[in-house]
Amino acid sequence: MHLWELLGIVGIAFLILEMFTPSMFFLNFSLAAFITAVLSVYTKNPYTLVITFFVFSFVSFVFLRPILVKRFCKNKETGLVNKYIGKIARAEEDITESSGVISIYGERWEARSESGEFISKGGEVKIIRNESIIMYVEGV
């Protein structure tokens, strides 16, 4: 078996590990193994190949991994709810400290009065903050 074949198998093994642990960690080693496999066709010096593997692993881990993580990994909180903070909505039901519903952009959300004031149905409210699926509002 040639050295480039062995390094190619190592690169494929790292790709398989990446499929089972999608953390963009083993992908760096896979890329380094494939680059080292190409280089092993031209040189047989093991020190050069080991240094090449470590250098490309480090470089891809430091520079490529943050780009890939930002592009492909989704965070638990997408931030889509935060786009409503500061916006004006309409009260679909009376809003108190313990109950209420608002409507914004055609969506219905549970709502609570931030300051404890009573907001009647049909009134306009400003969204102050949210906790899970509940928007805390104040009258406009």
pLDDT at 91 (0 to 100): 92
Tell me if 102 sits within 8 A of 135, measured CB to CB. yes
DSSP 45-104: -HHHHHHHHHHHHHHIIIIIHHHHHHHHPPPS--SSGGGGTT-EEEESS-B-SS--EEEE
> For the whole model, what pTM was predicted?
0.51
Q: How far is residue 65's CA from residue 48's CA, in Å, rounded to a whole number?
A: 24
More confident residue, 72 or 51: 51
Average pLDDT, the chain: 87
Q: Given a cut of 60, is residue 74 above it in pLDDT? A: no
Question: How confident is the model at residue 13, as a pLDDT?
Answer: 95
Q: How far apart are CA 55 and CA 21, in angstroms?
A: 23
Could you tell me how many helices (H) and strands (E) the chain has, helices first? 4, 5
- pLDDT tens, position by position, 2-29: 888 999 999 999 999 988 887 788 889 9
Q: Whose structure tokens read 């490529």?
A: 64
Percent of the chain whose predicted confidence (pLDDT) is above 70: 94
Task: Provide the pLDDT for residue 105.
Answer: 87
Statement: residue 79 has pLDDT above 60: no
Q: Region 32-53: what's the mean pLDDT? A: 93
Task: Please give the single-letter amino acid code of residue 56.
Answer: F
Rounded Cα distance, 118 and 75, in Å: 36
Cα dihedral sign, 109-114-117-123: negative
pLDDT, position 81: 62
Per-residue pLDDT at 70 exceeds 90: no
